[in-house]
Structure 1
Amino acid sequence: MALFTRNLVLVLFLLTITLCDAGISIHRKRRHVRVKNFLQLNGTLFTLTLHCKSKDDDLGKKVIPFNGSWEFDFIPHFLGATLYFCGFAWPGQFKWFNVYNDDRDIDRASKFQWSIYPPGPCRVDWFNESIVEGTCYHWNGEAL
Structure 2
Amino acid sequence: MGEQHLGYRNYFEFRFRPSIFMNTLFYCSFQWDGTTHWFDIYVEMRDKALCSQCVWNVRPDGPCLTNYDVCFPWNA
- Per the normalisation by structure 2, the TM-score is 0.90
Q: Distance in 1 between matches of 2:48 and 2:55?
A: 15
Q: Distance in 2 between matches of 1:109 and 1:121?
A: 15
Instruction: Give 1 or 2: higher strand fraction.
Output: 1
Q: Distance in 1 between matches of 2:51 and 2:75?
A: 22
Given candidates 20, 39, 43, the residue that maps to 1:97 is 39
Instruction: For 1:56-71, list aligned pairs within 5 A.
Output: 59-71=1-13
CA displacement 1:11-52 (0-9 Å, x = unmatched) = xxxxxxxxxxxxxxxxxxxxxxxxxxxxxxxxxxxxxxxxxx
Structure 2: which 5+ runs fail to align? Answer: none
| Count of residues in correspondence between the two structures | 76
Instruction: Give 1 or 2: higher helix fraction.
Output: 1
Q: Which amino acid aligns with 2:73?
A: H
Kindly indicate whether residue 15 of structure 2 is the aligned counterpart of residue 80 of structure 1. no
SS at match of 1:97: strand
Q: Corresponding residue for 1:139?
A: 74
**Structure whose alpha-carbon radius of gyration is higher:** 1
The structural deviation recorded for 1:109 is 2.4
SS at match of 2:13: strand
Structure 1: which 5+ runs fail to align? Answer: 1-58, 126-131
Moved over 2 A (4+): none
SS at match of 1:89: strand
